[in-house]
Each structure stands twice: as structure tokens, then as C-alpha cells.
Amino acid sequence: MSSIFAINRGPRVGGFRSLLRRVAAIALVGAALSGCVASDMALDDLSRDAPQIPGKLLTEMSKKGMNPESPVLVRIFKQESELEVWKINGTGRYALLKTYPMCRWSGKLGPKMANGDRQAPEGFYHVSRGMLNPKSQYYVSFNLGYPNRLESALGYTGEALMVHGACSSSGCYALTDQGVGEIYAVVSKALSSGQDRFQVQAYPYRMTPENMAQHKDDGNLPFWLTLKEGYDAFELTRQQPKVSVCGRRYVFNTEFQAGEPFDPLAACPVTASPSDPQLVAKIAAEKQKVEAALAGRNASTMTAYVDGGMHPSFRSLLKKEGADKLAARISGIKYPVSRPEAALADPFMEIRKRTGAAAAGDNFRGD
């Protein structure tokens, strides 16, 4: 009986390696069903040099007053299926370098709480150099560091939640190989040039008062209102917010009389005087706008959906070309698109109509 595991004995080393690749490919597909796998592999076809910042992106940095060594910050938005890369420019503040469409994320809006729930995380994370993986099964990747201190204290479970290539997700954020390669090169350069770790802010959506009102009836709204405090701190200052955890929540840009809180579940200790009263006032004004929006608008009716989201540009290609061709466009590994039927669903269509957000076909060339 023939079998993929049948091995001809003899000195055909190349044939043996080919067999290993075939077996590994089958194993990877099986692994995708149970979680985001990003461990190093010892196969020849996964051994590669880490990607470098392309010349076009270096030119864009120069135009925006940035240099490759300057610190970096990442923001992720589920509803919009977009990932932003920010870098410090000549003003000493963060400016947007580039926005990348995400091909796939899994779960639904809301935080990740348990291993196997397919939820992509929401919250504030910090990525150090040791969390980068240049030999990921999904091209290259970096680990978000879920669960963070707050999530661990709350008993949330899960591991290996990544930003990676290929259009497949079991709780991760997946981009094109080209996109994640650029991001990887940019963050790697910053980390090797003195930045100790970079911050990742993962949100359910762009946290405008209008978007908050669209989701007013969601049970996660109290958590999202906390995330918005950090979102606003960055939006108003273009500086990375300082993140503390106490009282079972994130606390931003706050100094405490006795130093940083130790126990994320205990009540927050006494705070010192705010270092920036003007910022506090601006955030309070934004909070009033949100409260007014929540009081004045009915929540949006969302289309029921099975699993996760996909940027409209990729959904358009999926409809037009099918899952196999989309997978080939996205990644040289040609990893299968995860749950393509669910990816075709568009739970945010009505919200995009109301907010005028981008429609299908936006700026993706597939190169």
C-alpha cells in the first residue's frame, strides 16, 4: 500500500527532506485548527533571512521626518480590519507611517478570555525583541504577549497570540506576507536601535463617539470605555500612554503616591496630582461627547456572523477569485484561508454605510 510516510531506503537525502516538507505541511494545516502556531521550524524552506525595510517605505519615512531607528507603536482595529504603524518623527511625537489591511482575524468584537475561544485579543500589550519570530510557520510574526498582567490576574487563558502572515487565524491577526514583512522589519529595526519594547494597542473599532454609540448595547461596552481612555490619550497627545493596572482595569498616564500598583485586582492606590491637567480636561470633554452619543442614538443592528472579520478589499477578492487564489496572493506559503465561508460574511456592512467607512476594493494590489 502506498503512503506519504513510505520512505525508500538509500542515500536520497533530498527525497527525504522533500518528504519531511510534505508531512510538515499537513501538520501545519492540522495545527491551524487548534490555534495560532508560530514556533521555529528546522525545515530548509522555512529558513530565511529576516525581511528588511523596503526602499519605498524608507523614502516614505524620510518624507515624514522619521528615521528607521526611531521608536515605533502599533494600533489594531478589528471592525475596520486595519493595522497602523506609527513612528516618532522630528517633533518627538508619533505620526502615522502606514496603514495595513488585515486579511483575517477570528472570533468577534470583545476581549479574549479563554484558550480555544478563537478570540483575537483586545487591550494594551508590549512587545520586546525576544517576541519576534523570523522563522514563523506563517512567514514572520511577533507575539502580542497575551495574556498581559491584567488578563493573567483575571484568569484569562491562551498563548501564542500573534501578528503574522497568511490569511489564517485562530485568535491571531493575519496580514499579507508583504505587509507583515514590512511591519516586522520596521519594529525589528526600532528594537535593535534602543527601543526596549513597543506598545500594541488592540481595539474593537476606531473609538469615536459615533462608533461607541453603534455598539451601546454590547455587554463589552464598560471594558471598551476603559480602552477609549487610552485611545484618547494617544489621539490627543501623539505620545505613548503610560499603562498601569489596578482595580481590575487599565489606568492611563497616572502617577501613584506609593509607586506602581502591584496587584491588578486590588483597588487603585492613592494617586498623585495629574501631571497634565490640560490632557485630563480634554479627555473629560471627549467622555462627555461619548455620553451624549450613547444617550442620543439607537444601537446598530449587526448581521449575525460565524467567525471573525476580513478587510473589504480581501473579501472582494475572495468573492471574485475563491479561497485558493486568495491564499496564493496573500502568502508564498499558500496557507489555506481560515473558514472562508465565515470570512465572506460582513457583520459591519450596516455600520460602514452609516459611518461612510471604506468599501470593498480599497487600495489592495495583491503584490
The catalytic residues are 164, 172
- CA 149 vs CA 132, 186, 269: distances in Å: 20, 26, 17
8 A C-beta contact, residue 185 and residue 353:
no
Rounded Cα gap, residues 30 and 17, in angstroms? 20
- 3 state DSSP class of 137: coil
| Grid cell in block for residue 252 | 492611563
Alpha-carbon gap, residue 138 to 159, rounded angstroms: 16
Element containing residue 97 per DSSP (H, E):
strand 94-101
- Pair type for strands 162-164 and 173-174: parallel
- Reference 97, options 53, 42, 128; nearest CA is 53
Residues 120 and 310: their CA atoms lie apart, in Å, by 13
Per the DSSP assignment, residues forming a β-bridge with 256 are 271
Residue 258 contacts by C-beta under 8 Å, 6 or more apart in sequence? 269, 270
Across the strands, what pairs with 243? Answer: 252
Sheet strands (E) in 119-268: 123-128, 132-136, 139-143, 162-164, 173-174, 197-203, 243-246, 249-252
67: Cβ–Cβ under 8 A, 6 or more apart, which residues? Answer: 61
CA distances (Å), 266 to each of 146, 151, 181, 183, 262, in order? 21, 14, 41, 37, 8
CA distance 185 to 180: 8
Beta strand spans in 210-256 (E): 243-246, 249-252
The type of residue at 100 is Y
DSSP assignment of 8-36: --SS-HHHHHHHHHHHHHHHHHHHHTT--
Which amino acid is present at 302? M
